[in-house]
Amino acid sequence: MKIAVLPGDGIGPEIVAQAVKILHALRSDGLKIELEQAHIGGAAYDAAGDPLPDATLKLAQQSDAVLLGAVGGYQYDTLPRAMRPEQGLLRIRKGLGLFANLRPAMVYPELVHASSLKPELVSGLDVMILRELTGDIYFGQPRGMRKLENGERQGFDTMLYSESEIRRVAHVGFQIAMKRAGLNGMAKVCSVDKANVLDTSMLWREIVTEVGSEYPQVVLSHMYVDNAAMQLVRAPKQFDVIVTGNIFGDILSDEASMLTGSIGMLPSASLDANNKGLYEPCHGSAPDIAGKNIANPLATILSVAMMMRYTFTREDVAQRIEAAVRTTLQRGLRTADIVEAGMKTIGTDMMGDAVVQAL
């Protein structure tokens, strides 16, 4: 297992270091794991003048999987758009052909009271949000800024999807739902769009419906994105797999993070057509807490579990890691973002050590 390790910026190096501890522990158990580290984001700009140096992209392309921390920082906000850390993330996704972003939102029984919603609404919650990653308004052309005849400035972006982009991510959504059916009893996909307003969404709904006809054992429903946002906080357990476009998925998956008690608990996987993946926590670089040893590393550690499940097809190892996280939570150990009365608050390093011990 050749894994490219890209710590990135802010809390990235701290949380990735804890995930690397897990990989070292697995290697000592006999797994053949090879790790190589490189820069991305602001750290790469500082080191090489580019948020995604050629050497980093080459390493990622030659590796079986990529473990990434986070990118971004206040000090980079004044850089030209092409040099900002976030462009490194967009470019590596494009360079690796990653189009399917898997973001699970699961509530551990030990954290049910950490959610901002009532326990009965989130207890047992297990939702998978599948976000298309390479199309939509983030990549559509034309885009830019211009001056109008009256001298007023105008910004513009283009929401754009091709039939093939929609079709391939829809297949992934239905296939994931079928795999989860054994756990949840029923295979369900909810496709989220804005087909009452947007031509792009009209095409999205048409293509997803066509693909759904190939999976008669999966129950397909459609929902407008504004209603989906409301339903996620009204009755989140009605969902199983949500499949949606890039911008809607970006927003909904962050909303779903608060159902779990903290975005620090949410891992993610971005996959290509062959299940090669880039694995990262859903949260950002959190520069305000960087270097303070208080960040929650569990989302990054759980991203390693997803790596074992989806890229290396080692479900046994994935379950071991997830069980170790659960054991650590059962012991009452918490980072500051998920701590409750009577629990012990520990730092980033100690949380990593505790999961290794449980593993």
- At residue 251, the pLDDT reads 94
Domain boundary among 260, 293, 318: 260
User: Is 217 found in the same domain as 150?
Assistant: yes
Catalytic residue ranges:
138, 194, 226, 250, 254
100 and 10 in a common domain = yes
pLDDT average, residue stretch 304-310: 96
Would residue 110 count as lying in a domain?
no
What is the number of residues in the chain?
359
Same domain, 178 and 97: no
Q: Is the same domain home to 255 and 121?
A: yes
Q: What is the predicted pLDDT for the residue at 258? A: 80
User: Given pLDDT bands bounded at 50, 70 and 90, which one contains residue 262?
Assistant: confident
- Which residues form the domain of 248? 116-260
> At which of 243, 260, 277 does a domain end?
260
291, part of any domain: yes
* 3-class secondary-structure state, position 207: helix
Cα 15 to Cα 283: distance, rounded to the nearest angstrom: 11
pLDDT mean over 266-271: 94
**Angle between helical axes of 298-310 and 348-358 (0-180°, round to 10):** 40
Residue 135 lies in a domain: yes
**Is the predicted pLDDT of residue 184 greater than 80, yes or no?**
no
Residues 336 and 298 in one domain: yes
Q: Which pLDDT band, with edges at 50, 70 and 90, does 226 fall under?
A: very high
> Strands 34-37 and 2-8: what pairing?
parallel
What was the pLDDT predicted at 114? 79
> Is residue 88 one of the residues assigned to a domain?
yes
Q: Do 171 and 253 fall within a single domain?
A: yes
Compute the distance between CA of residue 131 and CA of residue 76 in angstroms, rounded to an integer. Answer: 27
Question: 123-132, 180-189, 304-313: which range is least confident on average?
Answer: 180-189
Q: Would you list the DSSP string of 322-351?
A: HHHHHHHHHTTEE-GGG--TTPEE--HHHH
Residue closest to 116 by CA, chosen among 228, 233, 225: 233
Q: How far is CA 37 from CA 9, 59, 67, 254, in A?
A: 14, 9, 9, 28
CA quadruple 250, 23, 325, 174: dihedral positive or negative? positive
Cα separation, 60 vs 337, in Å, equals: 31
Percent of the chain predicted with pLDDT > 70:
99
Residue 189 confidence class, pLDDT cut points 50, 70, 90? very high
How many domains is the chain partitioned into structurally? Answer: 2
Could you tell me if 239 and 152 lie in one domain? yes
Domain identity same for 54 and 21: yes
Predicted confidence at residue 260, as pLDDT, reads: 83
Query: Which of 218, 233, 260 is where one domain is finished?
Result: 260
Specify the pLDDT at position 202. Answer: 98
**What does the alpha-carbon distance between residue 211 and residue 191 come to, in Å, rounded to a whole number?**
11
Q: Is residue 247 part of a domain?
A: yes
Q: How would you classify residue 185: left for phi > 0, otherwise alpha for psi between -120 and 50, otherwise beta?
A: left
CB 290 within 8 A of CB 11: yes
Query: Cβ atoms within 10 A of the Cβ of 49, count?
Result: 9
What distance in Å separates the CA atoms of residue 48 and residue 198, rounded to the nearest whole number?
41
User: Do 244 and 123 belong together in one domain?
Assistant: yes
Per-residue confidence (pLDDT) for residue 339, from 0 to 100: 87
Going by pLDDT thresholds of 50, 70 and 90, the confidence category of residue 263 is confident
**Residue 111: inside a domain, yes or no?**
no
Residue 213: give its domain's CATH number: 3.40.718.10
Over residues 86-101, the mean pLDDT reads 94
| Residue 238 shares a structural domain with residue 287 | no
